[in-house]
Structure 1
Amino acid sequence: MDTAYVNGKIYTVNSAQPWAQAILVEAGMIKAVGTDDEVRQRLSKDAQVVDLEGRLVMPGIHDAHLHLLFSGLKFKFEPHLSPGGNQRRAIEDIKSCNCSGPGDGAGNTWILGGDFFPPDFGPEGVNKAFLDEAFPDQPVFLYDYTIHHGLANSKALELAGITEDITDPPGGRYIRDETTGTLTGEMVEHARWPVLRAIPDYAAAINADAIAWAISVCHKFGITSVQEASASPQALKAFKALEDADALKIHIAAHLVWRDEGFGMAKLDVLESTIESRADWASKHVDTNFVKVWLDGAPLPPHFTQADLAEDGTVDESNILVPQDEFLSRLTEFDAAGLTVKIHCAGEGSTKRALDTIALVRQTNGPDGPRHEIAHAGFIDANDYGRLEKNNVVAEMSPAIWHVPEYGLMDYYHFSTVLKHQAHMTVGSDWIITPDPNLFPALQGMLQHGAESIDLDTAIEAMTLSGARAVNQDKRRGSLEVGKSADFIVLDRDIFTLDTSDIGSTEVLRTVFEGETVFLREEHPKATLGRTS
């Protein structure tokens, strides 16, 4: 049965036909885009008609960077620590959650949660002592607000085999008490890996439930296509289970984790084999031709694990997480295999290293390989902007918190500069860092970013068609055109005519994915039958 959406103000993101009144959908695809009369003339006798009541319609949003499984587990199944809470409040939050973490079959049920902000713990600092007192016999792991570091109690350290004589691993550090020299339980970057290895997996049904919930949240905010930035083996299994049940109502570019046991939720050899067997996890809605690598850490206090530039302009190697010879070798292999690589870069040094390495890969494999990405592209040396377009590299802007002064990112994320250098730019929420994947506040922020502001048309394209292009799907989605997937959203306001300051509070009334309404607010009209409105 075909469905017509009429009497709308439809922004198509198609330069050949930017605006329309109506869309005709059949079998999940767009069959016609035009005026009400043009669409009504093509209706079948039993067609459905939805009166849009003059509402603004636009393509479904593409979130270029989020973490479906992590976010689903964090916000649905794990204790969430109160912002500004001290140790006592953290214990109260954990105990009041009534959450049950994964069990290891040997009588140990883990408590997993977060996220804590180290200064909130006061003069006592980040130390496992308060967790040991409250949970002497139960393993506890709390991740901090960057998600790059964590705190484990003594029981968790014991199960992980971590003793006082442990040495710091490459790319990580164990924090010790300044007076006694003993382990505080706080672990930085790769030092988390032994504890994370010891944590058992959640049940497969929990993982699938977490992802299904996360997808429903995406629908609420108009997101129909995502780049999963940490596609662990557990996430891939859950995607497959949902796909087999015809319950995966979102397009996923699954970035398979390489060389990071923390974000990959598996040992390095398992991550390697998952990349090798990537075709086994691909499906109608899951594309597995993507890889994710973390080149450095996080540019946030108190640990500051990003890779910056030295005074002489060279890369400060102290926080680079992947040896250059290994990085170059594997990036060359991934590129030759046609895999797009998203490279986490949180400093100007790591961005320069990534661009240098991609340039070498282009010399070896030729200039026409896959389009690679710099994730979190707010940290780019002035001399490197021109290298993005030259080497066919996407500037992926996330996390989408540049509009929040408290995060201190107002001077970063140079939207206008990136586009003036003809670079390909996408937008991501980095949901797990953010409380939800709502990109409308970020959209407003792109328009109110001082000298780096961009216009509304350009910002919307970055959130739609540009995202589809980044995952090689711009021929199938990202704009509202005949022959493309019927993925679109209906908004509660006309963001083209209202004051810019009101864009951030925009709400989605209806989300349509492949012609199916997957989210509908109660106040939005439902379909009627017949050829008349």
Structure 2
Amino acid sequence: MLRRLPSWVCEATTGKDMLVSTAFVNARIYTVNPEQPWAEAMLVDGPTITAIGTEDHIRDVAPSEAEIVDLQGRMVMPGIHDAHLHLLFSGLKFRFEPRLSPGADSRQIIRDLTSCPCAHPRDAHGNEWVVGGEFFPPAVGEVDRRFLDEAFPDQPVFLYDYSIHHGLANTRALELAGVDETVADPPGGRFLRRSSGELTGEMVEQARWPVMRAIPDHPEQVSAEAVAWAVSMCHRYGITSVQEASANPQALRAFRALEQQKALHLRIAAHLVWREEGFGGASAAELDQLIENRHQWRSEHVDTGFVKIWLDGAPLPPHTTQAGLTEEGDVEKSKILVPPAELTEALTRFDAAGLTVKIHCAGEGAVRTALDAIAHVRRHNGPEGPAHEVAHAGFISEQDYGRFQELNVTAEMSPAMWHIPEYGLQDGFRFRTVLDHGAWMTVGSDWIITENPNLFPGLQGMLQHGNQAVDLTAALEAVTIVGARAIGRQDVQGSLEVGKSADFIVLDRHLFDIPIEETGATQVLATVFEGTTVYTAP
């Protein structure tokens, strides 16, 4: 039977329990397989690709009962791998929490918070917490809890700033968190104060932890709905595989709930949070226990063989907390959030256990500290351990580029806002230099910072980054097969080959034929995961 776009979705591809053959024909299939980079047609049996090649060949080998899907000459490519996003946080943020108007001042913030029919989590004492974001400090002017106290004298409020690394709490939230004027700045964090010494309510980096620990979890059903929506957004943008960069207990419970409902149509490499109590939503001891018991949370689509470490902050004003290098080339140690000896000990232990570690590094100094620790691990445990990752990898010293390939470290580029002029990050993210040094490079959206996980604008930016631009082949490899390699799934996903999972997307344009400046506007017409159509464009 022949079907045509836009109603090309086959009932046969909507049920994984039936082993049904579907022949996708009349397509331009970019396989990302160097031995067979292009094909015209593909045969899928259940969740698996069983043949790929010319249309004549596929029609010859297809069973007589096979569905025939005419893709009308559309471009097909493997499903995208997003190397860095936050499914639960993004789902809650964009579906259930108050969203602040861009550039909102204090009055607009209050209007936004009070007009939102949002789901506020309730603690054991009946307090409904207002949690939202993100405020832009220059727009607010004086960042102080006074304006929140006037509008919410009895209700706790916590707002993220635009970096997600800092926040603002009102008096009630500070009280419930046990924070008063006597509180001392923690290692790696700072409580801002008025000239009188009183707390303003603004907290930098790890100073947020007491308040964030006090925020109650949403009901598990809300978290599951948030993740389900986030997964649907991934499908909309052609993403079939992700690295969850903050797999805390709440996220893992939501993943499990969806998996049990057979509704988790996404591969998740879950980076379990180590030590970072803000993003982890639990105490350091509880997070350690989660890593210890990681196998309990593993499932068909969730791999818990990964860990996330935050080594420094964010390169965004007014609180630039990234660890750079001094003029003498030394690491800014005051901005390193994990003492190097503790980092090395943890990495050595995780590496020996076969866990792949993603290390958040915003500045050159953090990158060097991470590479130094990994170098110790390679000497101590041997060179054959997991390919650990430097997350963000936006600013790297010239002396350190060659160490990525030498130490088998993946440069995970999740630039998020690098191409927005007002943030001043355009000089970073040296894609060409990373590849010229023989390193593996992946790309992530850092969804939570961005409005959605759409990676096509980022791909366009990679093609237009001056002398740091890369060609389209390299850019597509970064979001497909290299991403699969980073999570040890290159034999299953990342390219369209016989025996691999039928994870692919249909695009509205031929990326290799269009002007570069049209790449970012690419639309996904359909997303297929394990042979099941999980998204079709309206």
TM range, smaller chain = over 0.9
- Equivalent-residue separation in structure 1 for 2:197 and 2:24 (angstroms): 67
Q: Which amino acid aligns with 1:138?
A: Q
- CA offsets 1:336-384 (integer angstroms, 9 cap, x no match): 0000000000100000000011001100000110000000101100010
Asked if the contact 1:489–1:512 (Cα under 8 Å) also holds between the matched residues in 2, the reply is yes
- CA offsets 1:129-185 (integer angstroms, 9 cap, x no match): 0000000010000010111100000000000011111111111100001x2221000
Q: Which amino acid aligns with 1:117?
A: F
Asked if the contact 2:415–2:429 (Cα under 8 Å) also holds between the matched residues in 1, the reply is no
Among candidates 277, 299, 318, match of residue 334 of structure 2:
318
Matched, 1:29 2:48: yes
Asked if the contact 1:400–1:439 (Cα under 8 Å) also holds between the matched residues in 2, the reply is no
Which residue is equivalent to 2:90?
A: 71
- Equivalent-residue separation in structure 1 for 2:315 and 2:426 (angstroms): 14
Q: Which amino acid aligns with 1:154?
A: T
Which residue is equivalent to 1:360?
A: 376
Give the secondary-structure state (helix, strand or coil) at the position aligned to 1:53: coil
- Equivalent-residue separation in structure 2 for 1:47 and 1:12 (angstroms): 22
Matched, 1:338 2:354: yes
- Structure 1 residue 428 displacement after superposition: 0.3
- Structure 1 residue 42 displacement after superposition: 1.9
Asked if the contact 2:316–2:423 (Cα under 8 Å) also holds between the matched residues in 1, the reply is no
Which residue is equivalent to 1:169?
A: 186
Matched, 1:45 2:64: yes
- CA offsets 1:11-57 (integer angstroms, 9 cap, x no match): 00000000001111112010111111111112223221211000000
Among candidates 505, 513, 528, match of residue 521 of structure 2:
505
Among candidates 486, 492, 500, match of residue 476 of structure 1:
492
Q: Which amino acid aligns with 2:143?
A: V
- Equivalent-residue separation in structure 2 for 1:52 and 1:88 (angstroms): 52
Which residue is equivalent to 2:207?
A: 191
Among candidates 135, 138, 141, match of residue 155 of structure 2:
138
Summarize the alignment of residues 197-216 of structure 1 with structure 2, pairs less than 5 Å apart.
Answer: 197-216=213-232
Summarize the alignment of residues 37-436 of structure 1 with structure 2, pairs less than 5 Å apart.
Answer: 37-122=56-141, 125-177=142-194, 179-436=195-452
- Equivalent-residue separation in structure 2 for 1:344 and 1:335 (angstroms): 17
Q: Which amino acid aligns with 1:145?
A: Y
- Equivalent-residue separation in structure 1 for 2:338 and 2:110 (angstroms): 36
Give the secondary-structure state (helix, strand or coil) at the position aligned to 2:92: helix
- CA offsets 1:459-504 (integer angstroms, 9 cap, x no match): 0000100000000000110000000010000000111111110011
- Equivalent-residue separation in structure 2 for 1:406 and 1:489 (angstroms): 34
Q: Which range moved further: 101-110 or 54-63?
A: 101-110
- Equivalent-residue separation in structure 1 for 2:23 and 2:420 (angstroms): 39
- Structure 1 residue 410 displacement after superposition: 1.5
Give the secondary-structure state (helix, strand or coil) at the position aligned to 2:348: helix
Give the secondary-structure state (helix, strand or coil) at the position aligned to 1:363: helix
- Equivalent-residue separation in structure 1 for 2:458 and 2:416 (angstroms): 6
- Equivalent-residue separation in structure 1 for 2:340 and 2:421 (angstroms): 35
Which residue is equivalent to 1:455?
A: 471
Q: Which amino acid aligns with 1:85?
A: A
Q: Which amino acid aligns with 2:171?
A: S
Asked if the contact 1:488–1:513 (Cα under 8 Å) also holds between the matched residues in 2, the reply is yes
Structure 1 length as normaliser, TM-score? 0.97
- Equivalent-residue separation in structure 1 for 2:494 and 2:222 (angstroms): 31
- Equivalent-residue separation in structure 2 for 1:401 and 1:460 (angstroms): 20
- CA offsets 1:396-454 (integer angstroms, 9 cap, x no match): 00133333323322211001000000000000000000111000001111010000011
Give the secondary-structure state (helix, strand or coil) at the position aligned to 1:446: helix
Give the secondary-structure state (helix, strand or coil) at the position aligned to 2:425: coil
Structure 2 length as normaliser, TM-score? 0.96
Matched, 1:17 2:36: yes
Which residue is equivalent to 2:11?
A: none
Gaps of 5+ in 1: 523-533
Gaps of 5+ in 2: 1-19
- Structure 1 residue 93 displacement after superposition: 0.7
Asked if the contact 2:21–2:44 (Cα under 8 Å) also holds between the matched residues in 1, the reply is yes
How many residues in Structure 1 have an aligned counterpart in Structure 2? 519
Asked if the contact 1:399–1:434 (Cα under 8 Å) also holds between the matched residues in 2, the reply is no
- Equivalent-residue separation in structure 2 for 1:409 and 1:186 (angstroms): 24
Q: Which amino acid aligns with 2:397?
A: D
Asked if the contact 1:297–1:307 (Cα under 8 Å) also holds between the matched residues in 2, the reply is yes
- Equivalent-residue separation in structure 1 for 2:119 and 2:385 (angstroms): 46
Asked if the contact 2:356–2:386 (Cα under 8 Å) also holds between the matched residues in 1, the reply is yes
Give the secondary-structure state (helix, strand or coil) at the position aligned to 2:271: strand
Asked if the contact 1:253–1:471 (Cα under 8 Å) also holds between the matched residues in 2, the reply is yes
Among candidates 461, 473, 478, match of residue 445 of structure 1:
461
Give the secondary-structure state (helix, strand or coil) at the position aligned to 1:41: helix
- Structure 1 residue 316 displacement after superposition: 1.1
Asked if the contact 1:402–1:442 (Cα under 8 Å) also holds between the matched residues in 2, the reply is no
Root-mean-square deviation (CA), in Å?
0.8
Give the secondary-structure state (helix, strand or coil) at the position aligned to 1:146: coil
Give the secondary-structure state (helix, strand or coil) at the position aligned to 2:61: coil
- Equivalent-residue separation in structure 2 for 1:69 and 1:202 (angstroms): 11
- Structure 1 residue 245 displacement after superposition: 0.5
Asked if the contact 1:400–1:427 (Cα under 8 Å) also holds between the matched residues in 2, the reply is no
Asked if the contact 1:222–1:511 (Cα under 8 Å) also holds between the matched residues in 2, the reply is yes
Asked if the contact 1:126–1:186 (Cα under 8 Å) also holds between the matched residues in 2, the reply is yes
- Equivalent-residue separation in structure 1 for 2:267 and 2:477 (angstroms): 18
- Equivalent-residue separation in structure 2 for 1:184 and 1:4 (angstroms): 63
Asked if the contact 2:527–2:533 (Cα under 8 Å) also holds between the matched residues in 1, the reply is yes
Q: Which amino acid aligns with 1:273?
A: Q
- Equivalent-residue separation in structure 2 for 1:266 and 1:40 (angstroms): 55
- Equivalent-residue separation in structure 1 for 2:70 and 2:211 (angstroms): 55
Query: Percent same amino acid at aligned positions?
Result: 64
Give the secondary-structure state (helix, strand or coil) at the position aligned to 1:113: strand
